[in-house]
Amino acid sequence: MNNLLSLKQASQWVTEHYSRNTTPSQIAYLMQYGHLKKIGNNGNTKVPIDDLKKYYDSLANLEIEMKENLGNDLNWELSFSEISEKDRTKHVHRLHPYKGKFIPQLVEYFLDEHTDEFKKEIYFKKGDIVLDPFCGSGTTLVQANELGINAIGIDISEFNSLISNIKVHKHNIQKLYYELKRISDLFGEFVYNSKAVQFEEELLYELNSFNNEFFPSPEFKYQIRTKQVDEWNYAKQKESDFLQIYHSLVKKYNLKIKQDTQNNFIEKWYLQPVKSEIDYLISLIKSIKDTEIREIVEIILSRTVRSCRATTHSDLATLKEPVTTTYYCHKHYKICKPLFSMYSWWKRYSEDTIKRLSEFDYLRTNTYQICLTGDSRVINIFDALENSKSIFGKELNNKKIKGIFSSPPYVGLIDYHEQHAYAYDLFNYQRKDNLEIGRLFNGKGKAAQESYTKGISEVLINSKKYLTDDYHILLVANDKFNLYPRIAENAGMKIVNQFKRPVLNRTEKDKSAYSEIIFHMKEK
């Protein structure tokens, strides 16, 4: 066989030799990120077969390596290693970023009654109600809808509940489209003659020229991966070289970069030109009379604002220090910049939201889902449903819940309100950080573990009031402190099964072997 293969030939070769259903676009993706060497251009792109062997052999060995590190009880089927990013973030699942959520395929595996040949037991059937007392961004609710299962979510965060409900509710897409067009047209006029946009256009031109010369893609990425270049020494020098160009442009446009004060999240993490655009968009959103449309537009603005924080691309999920100049970006292997205007991101996310809501409309079933805002340790679910005045409350009032599928917070890992601090500042939502279970602020010590055990146990005890007698509890957890046996005992439950899954495609910088357990609990 020829040592060089076209994208189509490469995808067919991988599919045949590794039993992995691989597409030409997936091969192109690996080239883009420097995993495979790219040879040729303009529709005549080739990939060396030796590179394919090396990369896919490493994937074949990954299961063996992870089992050596994490134990032979690892359930590789639950790794979902064959699932592409597009499928992991399908339709409304990428409506808004959210740290700590599980992939929809994991929910689907345990909720779908048609996968029983693999897991040997059916937990939920069409028409049942599933509860997620740690609803987060609503993954369980969305997948329940796809599968014809009713679902109730509960979250202490008002903003999380908003994200979840927007995902599962049916919307007037046409009305949303025209409202977004109106706002985008006005926003376009606002930024058209601004110094920030003109500055950014010239900066982008200079960046493209500089990066094409000194950080050609994907050649530079491939050189880094094959250790042909000392990345950090080379990048540090080039970063310094481009800063001279950057400062000269700031002076040319007489652009004010930093805000005068840093008294809150918005002032600290957004450059002055972006802050001006945020203020303008807020004023437009306040004029929307339709509450449902206004809330969707708020979510789009929140998503846009999150992408425009003055930080490096690598630190977007976990903020460190504000960035006000160009910098070498290890994520993209080139010189990058902070955002000086939100307009392009606003347009992109507006269009993307319409697309994702429309895609989910084709899949949705005639079932009921809602996320209630409240404390899962004490909330009266039936009363809260009735007070919500939702169709769910009327149709399924006081019908018992079949079980729980949820991913409780981990001990000392995330402050869930803080990850959306910008949204709370923008829209004046009430924060209830002190009611979070296992929050990062409380650490991971003995006191934090005891508080966590007590909190999760109380959630399960309260939830049992609304469950059928033959309920199933499925909780996704990384139980590094071995707390869940005691949690089950406290709640009057027993752990009847455990599914240990490897976690792939992690976003954290720490890529070491990692697993989590899905605990299956029933009444003791």
List per-block mean pLDDT (blocks of 10 residues) for the chain, which spans 524 residues: 82 86 80 82 83 84 78 82 80 92 91 64 92 97 96 96 96 96 95 87 95 92 88 93 96 92 86 94 95 96 92 78 92 92 95 97 94 97 87 76 96 89 88 93 94 97 96 94 97 95 64 81 95
Does one domain contain both 63 and 83? no
State whether 195 and 332 are in the same domain.
yes
pLDDT of residue 328: 95
Tell whether 168 is covered by a domain: no
User: How far, in Å, CA of 243 to CA of 473, rounded?
Assistant: 55
| Residue 87, C-beta contacts closer than 8 angstroms, at least 6 positions apart | 105
Residue 28 lies in a domain: yes
Q: In terms of domains, do 111 and 46 share one?
A: no
Please tell me whether residues 197 and 297 are part of one structural domain. yes
Last residue of a domain, one of 323, 356, 389: 356
Domain boundary among 43, 70, 97: 70
Residues found in the chain: 524
209, part of any domain: yes
Helices 173-192 & 195-214 angle (0-180, nearest 10): 90
Query: Where in the sequence is the domain holding 316, given as residue range(s)?
Result: 173-356
Q: Cβ(209)–Cβ(238) under 8 Å?
A: no
Does residue 85 form part of some domain? Answer: yes
What total of structural domains would you count in the chain?
3
Pick the last residue of a domain from 15, 41, 70: 70
Contact 475, 499 (CB under 8 A): no
Neighbouring-strand partners of residue 373: 155
Pair type for strands 493-502 and 515-523: antiparallel
β-bridge pairing 467-477 and 401-406? parallel
Residues 328 and 200 in one domain: yes
Q: Are residues 348 and 307 in the same domain?
A: yes
Q: Is 196 in the same domain as 323?
A: yes
Same domain, 266 and 402: no
Domain CATH number, residue 470: 3.40.50.150
Helices (H), 367-468: 381-387, 391-395, 421-427, 446-464
Three-state helix/strand/coil letters over 10-79: HHHHHHHHHCCCCCHHHHHHHHHCCCCCCECCCCCCEEEHHHHHHHHHHHHHHHHHHHHHHCCCECHHHH
Same domain, 146 and 180: no
Do 368 and 352 share a domain, yes or no?
Answer: no
User: No. of H helices and E strands in the chain?
Assistant: 21, 11
What residues pair up with 476 in beta bridges, in sequence order?
518
| Any domain includes 112 | yes
Same domain, residue pair 315 and 378: no
The pLDDT score that the predictor gives to residue 510 is 47
Which token pair is 402?
């079949």
pLDDT at 40: 83
* Same domain, yes or no: 62 and 134: no
- Phi, psi (rounded to 5 degrees) for 336: -120, 180
**Neighbour tally for 245: CB within 10 Å:** 16
Are 516 and 501 spatial neighbours (Cβ–Cβ below 8 Å)? yes
What residue spans of 71-153 are helical by DSSP H?
85-88, 104-111, 116-119, 139-146
